[in-house]
Amino acid sequence: MPGFELFGSKERQQVQDVLDSGVLMRYGFDGMRNGHWKAKEFEVVLSQKMQVKYTHLVSSGTAALTVALASAGIGAGDEVIMPTFTFVASFESILALGAVPILVNVDDTLTLDPKAVENAITKRTKVIMPVHMCGSMANLGALKSICEKHDLLLLEDACQAIGGSYHGKPLGSIGDLGCFSFDYVKTITCGEGGAVITNNGAFYENAHKYSDHGHDHIGNDRGAEKHPFLGYNFRISELNAAVGLAQIGRLDEFISIQKRNYSILRDALSQIPEVVFRRVPDGGEENYSFLNFFLPSEELARKAQKALGEAGVDGCFYWYDNNWHYYRKWEHLTTPKSLGKLPQEVLDSFQDYSKVDFSASDHWVGRNISCLIKLGWTEEEVHARAKKMVEAIKKVI
């Protein structure tokens, strides 16, 4: 990852088709298109790839999460369980609908701990939202069982994990709804874009209407379409969809390259006894976009991450101190700070972050180093990188 590393003739041709037609919008202008409907084509291919009935493209991964929640009727006061380790879009999408994010601990998968999820459920809980961070999944079997037990929805945030699988099924396709991001640094990219996938026809109908101001998309006269309910503008453009259409056709190629590079690095680090790798749930296969491992202590993890940088090994992240991906730096949520007033119903339901215990998350994330796997590396470059990583970590330990 990311897909922009390997832009080529396929992406250029798809974009050129759109520019030649002059139609940059995904809806309408039928006579000008020369038969090109890039968003629709992308949706068909993605549905096939993800083994689902329905796909709807939107403007971003954040939009995908928001639309997915809205399509399932999530709104004021509803609680959505999410992990402490994710991107801020997870709670942004929840708050945008007047719902309440409930943060719970992660375990050694770096995703939702099922036991913590079970303990966080209240009468207001409506959704469990695992986030498949850095390309690997939560224990979806356990989470599905919890959802069935409590009659909850399972929404997979697979924004960082396209191409991964769980018991042979593509990530994103296992829950009631799944979401992807196609921003500039994802495994496949549109520049900006996202998608909602589902096998639920009602959710799909809600999603494509809600993301386009409530348009019902019936007939071929956009101005005559009806609006069955309120919506917003989360549309993707044809230009963005064109890039994604080319890239989705290359997904298997990208995953294969990532797996090769990941495996070389992991094999090298395996010779260090103190290095323990992130647990992938039984039956799961990550998409190999990041190599995640733990060191024996937070102190050693900090030293190792610094040593890797000094050795010229870029792209190794220490998420524990990250402003955007871990709860410790989310002051704008925990305070909370908002340009407009948040609904009182939301404020009344917020967790008391001065008292909530996230030490279990700290135990894992504080000892974790996460290394980006690039598509553009040659095999020789990966072996050289592996040697540098081993030497740097051994010096610290």
Render pLDDT for 261-304 as a digit per residue (tens, 0 to 9). Answer: 999 999 999 999 999 999 999 999 999 999 999 999 999 999 99
Contact indicator for 175, 154 with CB cutoff of 8 Å:
yes
Whether residue 337 lies in the annotated active site: no
Tell me, what DSSP letter sits at residue 224? G
What local confidence, expressed as pLDDT, does residue 351 receive?
Answer: 96
Q: From residue 136, how far is each of 46, 191, 328, 396 by CA, in Å?
A: 19, 23, 22, 27
Kindly name the residue from 126, 186, 209, 374 that is annotated as catalytic: 186
Q: Which pLDDT score is estimated for 306? A: 97
CA–CA separation, 274 and 316 (whole Å): 18
Cα distance between residue 291 and residue 134, in whole Å? 8
pLDDT by position in tens, the chain (length 397)? 899 999 999 999 999 999 999 999 999 999 999 999 999 999 999 999 999 999 999 999 999 999 999 999 999 999 999 999 999 999 999 999 999 999 999 999 999 999 999 999 999 999 999 999 999 999 999 999 999 999 999 999 999 999 999 999 999 999 999 999 999 999 999 999 999 999 999 999 999 999 999 999 999 999 999 999 999 999 999 999 999 999 999 999 999 999 999 999 999 999 999 999 999 999 999 999 999 999 999 999 999 999 999 999 999 999 999 999 999 999 999 999 999 999 999 999 999 999 999 999 999 999 999 999 999 999 999 999 999 999 999 999 9
Residues 34, 244 contacting (CB under 8 angstroms): no
Provide DSSP, 108-142.
TTSSB-HHHHHHH--TTEEEE--B-GGG----HHH
Cα 291–chain centre separation: 16
CA atoms within 13 A on the CB side of 216: 9
How far is the C-alpha of 233 from the C-alpha of 245, rounded, in Å? 21
Would you say the pTM of this structure is higher than 0.85?
Answer: yes
Q: Which residues pair with 112 in a beta bridge?
A: 106
Tens digit of each residue's pLDDT (9 = 90 or more) over 313-339: 999 999 999 999 999 999 999 999 999
Domains along the chain with CATH numbers: 3-251 (3.40.640.10), 252-396 (3.90.1150.10)
